[in-house]
């Protein structure tokens, strides 16, 4: 029979606390953690997140590159760099019109006695390959006046045709002038790119028939004497305020014309205290010898003239009299 050992393996030391039947693990775990050190689990999470961000940035860069390549090959390209009219550098239409009108002044002045002068004046507008007289053989006579731009037709991003209206003698015409632009938006350069084409001007428009308004003869009789005085003051500027409605101020003609007569007055039926009316007035145009509008056949150059003008007026009734609230151009013949 084996003999039981009498050696005490975990002798109790005096003063030690009582041992618990349940082992204390807190100190054990802390010592275990101290021996093991940092496991690195949080670091692996940061590395994974960083990889996701890097790949996302790479995908964004690749996507932008693909979009740029597609855009480059799908948009129309110009023949030369920086020579396209676009939103950033649009075609300078106003400058083109000014260039075309200046050119037309010189191009349409045909005088055989000034061939060298005309050639020198045209040179800044033409390409070096153009002939000196640009299509004119040096014979005949033409003079243009009252030149104005009438329109611009776009051919492409660098080419337009500017239409210039002009008058020669008693007839109106148009000249279609092709221009090319160098693409410089800050200091645009132009050249006439081809032969101009002279065209007839549009015919005068037909006036539409306007229905006659019902006239108010009673109010017209009230207004005539007062408006005659108003137009006299409107021409001279003297005591104009007495004919104006309350809180109304109007400029005057300052004596440039004299009032001759109120030739016609149209007063439609309407409100009892406010009307829009039309009037034809005859102004006296001063002659060389003064303001008189009486004819002096002995010296026609000194004789004053007469000029009919049409107006629309807004008049309001204050008390028992009518006063002018506004005056403007009539827009259509009255009467």
What is the distance between the alpha carbons of residues 265 and 330, in angstroms, rounded to a whole number? 12
pLDDT score for 309 = 95
- CA-closest candidate to residue 151, choices 110, 101, 194: 101
pLDDT tens, position by position, 99-113: 999 999 999 999 999
pLDDT tens, position by position, 11-56: 444 444 444 444 454 454 544 444 454 454 556 767 777 777 877 7
What is the distance between the alpha carbons of residues 245 and 237, in angstroms, rounded to a whole number? 16
Phi and psi angles of residue 48, each rounded to the nearest 5 degrees, phi first: -65, -40
Name the DSSP class of 142: B
Fold entry, domain 217-329: Nuclear Transport Factor 2; Chain: A, (3.10.450)
Residue with tokens 């009789």: 221
What is the DSSP code string of 231-258?
HHHHHH-TTGGGGBPTT------TTSSE
29-46 in b/e burial notation, b at 16+ Cβ within 10 A? eeeeeeeeeeeeeeeeee
Q: Which of 57-61, 68-72, 172-176, 307-311 has the lowest mean pLDDT?
A: 68-72
Residues 6 or more apart whose CB falls under 8 angstroms from that of 239 comprise: 233
- CA-closest candidate to residue 220, choices 329, 326, 313, 333: 313
The Cβ of residue 306 has, within 10 Å, a number of other Cβ atoms equal to: 15
Q: Which of 15-29, 150-164, 225-239 has the lowest mean pLDDT?
A: 15-29
What is the distance between the alpha carbons of residues 52 and 250, in angstroms, rounded to a whole number? 76
pLDDT surpasses 60 at 10: no
Residue with tokens 């618990």: 20
What is the distance between the alpha carbons of residues 231 and 238, in angstroms, rounded to a whole number? 11
Residue with tokens 């005056």: 327
pLDDT score for 11 = 45
Fold entry, domain 93-200: Nuclear Transport Factor 2; Chain: A, (3.10.450)
Alpha-carbon 131 to chain mean position? 38
Tokens of 275: 């009307």
- Report domain extents, the chain: 93-200, 217-329
pLDDT tens, position by position, 77-90: 433 333 445 566 78
pLDDT tens, position by position, 137-148: 999 999 999 999
Alpha-carbon 22 to chain mean position? 93
Helix (H, G, I), strand (E, B) or coil at 118: helix
pLDDT score for 188 = 85
């Amino acid at each position: 029979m084996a003999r039981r050992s009498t050696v005490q393996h975990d002798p109790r030391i005096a003063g030690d606390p009582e041992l618990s039947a349940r082992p204390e693990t807190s100190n054990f775990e802390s010592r275990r953690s101290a021996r093991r050190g940092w496991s690195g689990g949080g670091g692996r999470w940061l590395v994974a997140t960083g990889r996701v961000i890097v790949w996302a940035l790479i995908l964004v860069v690749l996507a932008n590159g693909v979009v740029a390549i597609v855009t480059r090959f799908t948009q129309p390209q110009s023949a030369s760099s920086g020579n396209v009219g676009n939103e950033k550098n649009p075609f300078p239409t106003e400058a083109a019109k000014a260039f075309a009108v200046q050119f037309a002044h010189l191009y349409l002045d045909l005088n055989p006695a000034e061939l060298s002068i005309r050639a020198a004046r045209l040179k800044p507008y033409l390409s070096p390959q153009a002939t000196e007289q640009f299509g004119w053989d040096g014979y005949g006579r033409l003079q243009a006046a009252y030149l104005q731009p009438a329109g611009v037709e776009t051919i492409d991003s660098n080419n337009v045709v500017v239409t210039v209206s002009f008058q020669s003698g008693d007839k109106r015409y148009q000249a279609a002038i092709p221009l090319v632009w160098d693409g410089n938006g800050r200091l645009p350069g132009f050249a006439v790119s081809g032969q101009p084409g002279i065209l007839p001007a549009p015919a005068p428009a037909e006036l539409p028939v306007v229905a006659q308004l019902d006239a108010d003869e009673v109010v017209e009789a009230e207004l005539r004497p007062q408006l005659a005085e108003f137009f006299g003051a409107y021409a001279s500027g003297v005591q104009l305020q007495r004919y104006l409605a309350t809180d109304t101020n109007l400029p005057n003609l300052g004596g440039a014309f004299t009032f001759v007569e109120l030739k016609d007055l149209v007063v439609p039926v309407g409100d009892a205290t406010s009307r829009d009316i039309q009037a034809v007035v005859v102004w006296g145009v001063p002659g060389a010898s003064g303001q008189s509008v009486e004819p002096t056949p002995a010296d026609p150059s000194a004789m004053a003239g007469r000029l009919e003008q049409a107006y629309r007026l807004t008049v309001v009734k204050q008390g028992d009299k009518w006063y002018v609230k506004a005056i403007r151009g009539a827009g259509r013949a009255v009467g």
